Structure 1
Amino acid sequence: MIALDTTLPALDVNDASGNTLNLKDFAGQSSVLIYFMRTSTCQVCVNHVRDLGKHKAELDAHGITVLVAIPEGAEAVAKWQAKSGSPFIGISAPSGSTHAEFGLNKKIFGSMQETGVVLADASGRVRYTRSAVIATGAYNWEELYSAMKEHLPLAA
């Protein structure tokens, strides 16, 4: 997993509409939370994203843009975005796995995609990470919220 106190990589990603974004584009504009789904159909991951949606007011209050990284590519991102109705931006890396760029690899004989959360402040500095091979261990709202309160001021 990407290390704390490093900066987000200058990684190009595509959103559900095929638009290219660079993670560095958020620097100076907003903090960024990236939730890495194991697959677009992982029910545990879907539930984690739904829980983030329940906390959208708190995320907005801290000026956080939420990105949901889906490892299967742009087509899966578009399908997930349409089906989920999520208020968050689905992304995938056009040149490979967004997950691998953050050190989230396939484990257990190469069959299980690691999942996790990365929180970076508006300067792009990584302030919180959590990852797991088993999706149930990759997300903890209370821990994430504590990191938000510690490292990210409330938005003006």
Structure 2
Amino acid sequence: MRTSPLIPGESLPELELTRSDGAVAELCDLLDKDRTLVYFMRTPTCPVCHSHLRQMTRTTFGGGALARRIVVVVPGDSNDAATVAARHPELSDRIVASATAHESIGLFVRAGLQQSGTFVVDSARTVLTARTATIPLGSFNEAEALEALGETNAPATRTA
């Protein structure tokens, strides 16, 4: 069992993932051919995590939507994934749940709060960047994510 979060250079393990309809999801099927942002929510009801998801869905760069390069992992089961998907329908096919994923990558409950985090991984699941936090305000940074996704030359825009 891990005792600390994944760091750049390590591999994101295969995770037990479930879609909102109860179907099993394979991580390799969700990853982009180049780089993917994998966002681990604190809880299905975390208001800060939902704010981060709204920010991600409004961000575009290089003619594409950031939302197409995201995988959202919700702690829990298919009902929890469905709860999040209902609030973010534009991400519904990118939202999965897992009862074990957070712990398997080193995100634990600290001071009563589940840690959350953003990892950018390549198609081989190698972690390129990692940002984790016990307080969810620190678990996502748009500029850092875009840079890790290789979008440093393309201006990011957010729609209202």
- How does the TM-score come out when normalised to structure 2? 0.79
SS of residue matched to 1:149: coil
The counterpart of 1:36, out of the listed 33, 40, 61, is: 40
1:47 and 2:48 matched: no
Q: Tell me the amino acid that sits aligned with residue 138 of structure 2.
A: G
Q: Verify the 8 A CA contact 1:26 1:122 in the aligned structure 2.
A: no
For 1:9-38, what per-residue CA distance to the aligned partner results, in whole angstroms no more than 9, with x for missing partners?
122311112221222445684532211111
Report what 1:91 is aligned to: 96
Matches within 5 A, 1:2-151: 2-26=6-30, 29-57=33-61, 60=64, 65-87=69-91, 89-93=94-98, 96-108=99-111, 111-149=112-150
Instruction: Using the aligned pairs only, state the percent identity.
Output: 26
Instruction: Give the alignment's Cα RMSD to 1 decimal.
Output: 2.6
Deviations 1:19-77 (A, max 9, x none): 21222445684532211111111111100011111124559478963111111322111
Q: Please tell me whether the aligned partners of residues 57 and 67 of structure 2 are also in contact (alpha carbons under 8 angstroms).
A: no
Task: Kindly provide the CA deviation profile for residues 60-118 of structure 1, in whole angstroms up to 9, marking residues without a partner as x.
Answer: 4789631111113221111221233232511112xx3321111100001xx10001101
Give the unaligned 5+ runs of structure 1: 152-156
CA contact (8 A) 2:67 2:91 kept: no
Alpha-carbon shift at residue 129 of structure 1 (Å): 0.6
For 1:123, give the aligned amino acid.
A
Instruction: List runs of 5+ in structure 2 lacking aligned partners.
Output: 153-160
| Matched residue type, 1:77 | A
Give the direction of change, closer, same or farther, for the CA distance of 1:28–1:132 in structure 2 (3 Å limit): closer
In structure 1, C-alpha distance between the alignment counterparts of 2:52 and 2:37, rounded to whole Å: 13
